[in-house]
């Protein structure tokens, strides 16, 4: 009886391992398959936030192209960058806006990768303000917006 139970367990384990390997005869890997897929977003307005809501963006898309992009919220600790009159904060806010405005007029499916190098987009990083633009917050907020889906459909013309 123990031999039969052991044989059944060994067979089940073998079938399980073979099933997990999955094998593919077409020569493509899962990574290659996802690279050829095209993402199409619905036309409309999207809103998304960095995880702590310190950065909230709103972008409008038409045919996957960014028609407009703006910050709804931009804060750090207790400082509201959108309302501050402090010269350093105003300069830093301008750098963040340069990075976000870089996506306007471009295909949303390809332009987000360019934001990983903000030094190629905005001028005076670390020059005037001695501060670094954290483009990761902007990228995260944009990705959140796209993942959430359309916030508002375009107005009928």
Give 25-48 pLDDT, tens digit per residue: 454 455 444 455 688 999 999 999
11 in a domain, yes or no?
no
Residue numbers of the domain that contains 82: 44-148
39 in a domain, yes or no?
no
25 in a domain, yes or no?
no
Query: What pLDDT, on a 0 to 100 scale, did the predictor assign at position 2?
Result: 61
Q: Which of 44-48, 95-99, 133-137 has the weakest average pLDDT?
A: 133-137
74 in a domain, yes or no?
yes
pLDDT of 121 over the 60 cut: yes
pLDDT of 156 over the 60 cut: yes
What whole-number distance in Å separates Cα of residue 81 and Cα of residue 89? 6
What whole-number distance in Å separates Cα of residue 34 and Cα of residue 31? 5
135 in a domain, yes or no?
yes
Q: In which residue are the tokens 């020059």 written? A: 127
95 contacts: CB under 8 Å, gap ≥ 6: 118, 122, 124, 125, 129, 131, 133
Query: What pLDDT, on a 0 to 100 scale, did the predictor assign at position 128?
Result: 46
21 in a domain, yes or no?
no
pLDDT tens-digit readout, 2-15: 656 555 555 655 55
Q: In which residue are the tokens 């483009």 written? A: 135
**Following CA atoms 51, 113, 40, 67 in sequence, which dihedral angle do they give, to the nearest 10 degrees?**
80
When pLDDT is averaged across residues 105-113 and rounded to a whole number, the result is 94
48 in a domain, yes or no?
yes
What whole-number distance in Å separates Cα of residue 104 and Cα of residue 69? 7
157 in a domain, yes or no?
no
The mean of the pLDDT values for the chain is 80
For residue 121, the domain's CATH number is 3.90.1010
Considering its fold, how many domains does the chain have in total? 1
């Amino acid at each position: 009886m123990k031999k039969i139970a052991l044989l059944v367990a060994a067979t089940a384990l073998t079938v399980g391992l073979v099933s997990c390997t999955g094998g593919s005869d077409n020569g493509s890997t899962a990574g290659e398959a996802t690279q050829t897929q095209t993402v199409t977003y619905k036309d409309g307005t999207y809103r998304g936030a960095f995880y702590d809501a310190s950065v909230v963006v709103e972008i409008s898309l038409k045919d996957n192209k960014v028609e407009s992009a703006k910050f709804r919220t931009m804060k750090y600790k207790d400082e509201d960058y959108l309302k501050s009159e402090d010269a350093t904060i105003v300069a830093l806010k301008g750098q963040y806006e340069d990075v976000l405005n870089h996506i306007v007029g471009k295909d949303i499916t390809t332009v987000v990768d360019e934001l990983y190098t903000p030094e190629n987009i905005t001028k005076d990083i670390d020059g005037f303000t001695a501060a670094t633009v954290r483009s990761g917050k902007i990228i995260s907020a944009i990705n959140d917006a796209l993942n959430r889906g359309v916030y508002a459909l375009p107005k009928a013309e």
